[in-house]
Amino acid sequence: MRKRLRKANIWPYLLVLPALIIVMAVVFVPILNAISMSLQNYDLRRPKQIAFTGLQNYRQLFSDKQFTGSLYRTVLWVVFGVGFQFIFGFALALLLNRQFRFRGLVRSASLIPWVTPGVLIALMWRWILDGNYGVVNDLLIKLGWIDKNIAFLANRTTALPSVILTIVWQGIPFFALMLLAGLQGISPELYEAAGIDGAHSTQKFRFITVPSLKNTIFVTTMLRVIWVANSVDVIFNMTEGGPAYATQTLSVYTYLKANTLNMGYASAMAIVLTILLLIFSIPYLHSMFRDQGV
Amino acid sequence: MKKLLGILVAVVMLLTMIPFALAQDVTIDYWFWADNDGYAATMQEMIADFNATNGKGITVVGSQVPWDGGGYSNTVFTAAMGGGGPDVATWKLTATPAFVANDLLAPLDGYLENWADYEQIEESLWEVMRQVGGGEKVYVMPWNTQVLYVYYRPSMFEAAGIGVPETYEEFLDACAKLTKDGVYGFGMRGATGGQEPWGSFIHARGGTFEDLTTPQAVQGMNDFIDLFKNGFTPPTAPSDGFSQIIDNFKSGLTAMTVHHIGSSAGMVETFGEDVGAFVFPAGEGQWTSMGDTENVMFASCENKEAAFEWLAYLAAGKGQETWCKVTGNVPVAARVKEMEEFQNNPFMKVSIAGAPYAGILPILDTTTEWISGVWPATVQQALLGDITAEECMEILQTELHK
Task: Supply the pLDDT for residue B119.
Answer: 94
- Quote the CA–CA distance of A242 and B377 in Å, as a whole number: 6
Task: Supply the pLDDT for residue B21.
Answer: 47
Residue B369 buriedness (CB in 10 A; 0-12 / 13-18 / 19+): buried
> CA triplet A122, A125, A127: central angle to 5 degrees?
110
Q: Is A245 on the interface with B (CB under 8 A)?
A: yes
Closest CA to B88 of B113, B114, B58: B58
d(CA A235, nearest CA chain B) in Å:
13
d(CA A11, nearest CA chain B) in Å:
37
Start-to-end C-alpha separation, chain A? 34
Closest CA to B191 of B252, B148, B146, B245: B245
Average confidence (pLDDT) over B57-79 = 91
Using one digit for the tens of pLDDT, what is the confidence trace for B167-192? 999 999 999 999 999 999 999 999 98
> CA triplet A140, A74, A130: central angle to 5 degrees?
25
Those residues with Cβ within 8 angstroms of residue A173's Cβ, 6 or more apart along the chain or in another chain: A89, A92, A110, A111, A112, A113, A114
B320-326 own/partner pairs: CB under 8 Å, 24+ apart = B320/B143, B320/B144, B322/B42, B322/B45, B322/B46, B322/B49, B323/B42, B323/B43, B323/B46, B323/B143, B323/B144, B324/B144, B326/B38, B326/B39, B326/B42
d(CA B236, nearest CA chain A) in Å:
5
Q: How confident is the model at residue B22 (pLDDT cuts 50, 70, 90)?
A: very low
Q: Are strands B184-187 and B254-259 parallel, antiparallel or unpaired?
A: parallel
- Quote the CA–CA distance of B287 and B197 in Å, as a whole number: 9
Binary contact (A44, B251; C-beta < 8 A): no
d(CA B239, nearest CA chain A) in Å:
5
d(CA A261, nearest CA chain B) in Å:
8
Mutate to test the interface with A, among B195, B239, B240 (most CBs of A within 10 A): B239
What percentage of chain B has pLDDT greater than the value 70?
A: 94
Using one digit for the tens of pLDDT, what is the confidence trace for B84-95? 999 999 999 989
Contacts of A48 in chain B (CB under 8 A): 101
Q: How confident is the model at residue A223 (pLDDT cuts 50, 70, 90)?
A: very high
Partners of B187 in the β-ladder: B257
Query: What secondary structure does DSSP assign to A225-248, as a single string?
Result: HHHHHH--HHHHHHHTT-STTTT-
Using one digit for the tens of pLDDT, what is the confidence trace for A15-26? 999 999 999 999
Binary contact (B365, A45; C-beta < 8 A): yes
H/E stretch holding B204 reads helix B195-204
d(CA A123, nearest CA chain B) in Å:
12
Contacts of A37 in chain B (CB under 8 A): none
Contact A130, A137 (CB under 8 A): yes
Q: Is A132 on the interface with B (CB under 8 A)?
A: yes
Using one digit for the tens of pLDDT, what is the confidence trace for B94-136? 899 999 999 999 999 999 999 999 999 988 889 889 988 888 8
- Quote the CA–CA distance of B258 and B237 in Å, as a whole number: 13
Binary contact (B236, A47; C-beta < 8 A): no
Using one digit for the tens of pLDDT, what is the confidence trace for B341-355? 888 889 988 998 898
Which CATH number is correct for A11-292, 3.30.70.1350, 1.10.3720.10, 3.40.50.300, 3.30.1330.90?
1.10.3720.10
Contacts of A261 in chain B (CB under 8 A): 74, 77, 98, 368
Those residues with Cβ within 8 angstroms of residue A130's Cβ, 6 or more apart along the chain or in another chain: A137, A152, A153, B236
Closest CA to B360 of B109, B172, B96, B106: B96
Coil vs helix vs strand at B368 = helix
Task: Supply the pLDDT for residue B385.
Answer: 95
Task: Supply the pLDDT for residue B2.
Answer: 59
Contact B151, B275 (CB under 8 A): yes
Average confidence (pLDDT) over B50-67 = 95
Contacts of B383 in chain A (CB under 8 A): 243
Average confidence (pLDDT) over B67-73 = 83
Task: Supply the pLDDT for residue B19.
Answer: 46
Those residues with Cβ within 8 angstroms of residue B396's Cβ, 6 or more apart along the chain or in another chain: B212, B370, B374, B375, B378, B379
Using one digit for the tens of pLDDT, what is the confidence trace for B382-398? 999 999 999 999 999 99
Closest CA to A167 of A275, A68, A88: A88
Three-class secondary structure assignment of B79-115? HHHCCCCCCEEEECHHHHHHHHHCCCECCCHHHHHCC
Using one digit for the tens of pLDDT, what is the confidence trace for A196-217? 999 998 999 999 999 999 989 9
Q: Among partner residues B77, B97, B248, which is closest to A132 by beta-carbon distance?
A: B248
Query: What secondary structure does DSSP assign to A74-105, as a single string?
Result: HHHHHHHHHHHHHHHHHHHHHHHTS--TTHHH
Binary contact (B377, A244; C-beta < 8 A): yes
pLDDT exceeds 80 at position A97: yes
Q: Is B248 on the interface with A (CB under 8 A)?
A: yes
Query: What secondary structure does DSSP assign to B14-28, as a single string?
Result: HHHHHHHHHTS-EEE
pTM: 0.84
Contact B312, B112 (CB under 8 A): no
- Closest chain A residue to B96 measured between Cα atoms? A45
Partners of B26 in the β-ladder: B58
Binary contact (A240, B192; C-beta < 8 A): yes
d(CA A39, nearest CA chain B) in Å:
20
Closest CA to A265 of A77, A75, A44: A44
Task: Supply the pLDDT for residue B190.
Answer: 96
Those residues with Cβ within 8 angstroms of residue A200's Cβ, 6 or more apart along the chain or in another chain: none
pLDDT exceeds 70 at position B13: no
Average confidence (pLDDT) over A145-163 = 95
- Quote the CA–CA distance of B101 and B53 in Å, as a whole number: 36
Amino acid at A189: E
Fill in the DSSP letter of residue B1.
-
- Quote the CA–CA distance of B360 and B290 in Å, as a whole number: 6
Domains of chain B, earliest start first = 2-145+291-352 (3.40.190.10), 149-290+359-400 (3.40.190.10)
Which of these ranges, A198-207, B57-66, B150-159, B173-182, has the smallest mean pLDDT?
A: A198-207
Q: How confident is the model at residue B223 (pLDDT cuts 50, 70, 90)?
A: very high
Q: Is A133 on the interface with B (CB under 8 A)?
A: yes
**What length does chain A have?**
294
Angle between helices A263-292 and A250-259 (to 10 degrees): 150
- Quote the CA–CA distance of B72 and B94 in Å, as a whole number: 12
Q: Among partner residues A155, A156, A261, which is closest to B98 by beta-carbon distance?
A: A261
Contacts of B239 in chain A (CB under 8 A): 151, 153-154, 159, 239, 242-243
Q: Are strands B26-32 and B58-64 parallel, antiparallel or unpaired?
A: parallel
Q: Is B71 on the interface with A (CB under 8 A)?
A: yes
Those residues with Cβ within 8 angstroms of residue A46's Cβ, 6 or more apart along the chain or in another chain: B101, B365
CA B72 → CA A231, A239, B33, B69, B218, distances in Å? 21, 19, 8, 7, 33
Contact A174, A84 (CB under 8 A): no
Contact B347, B77 (CB under 8 A): no
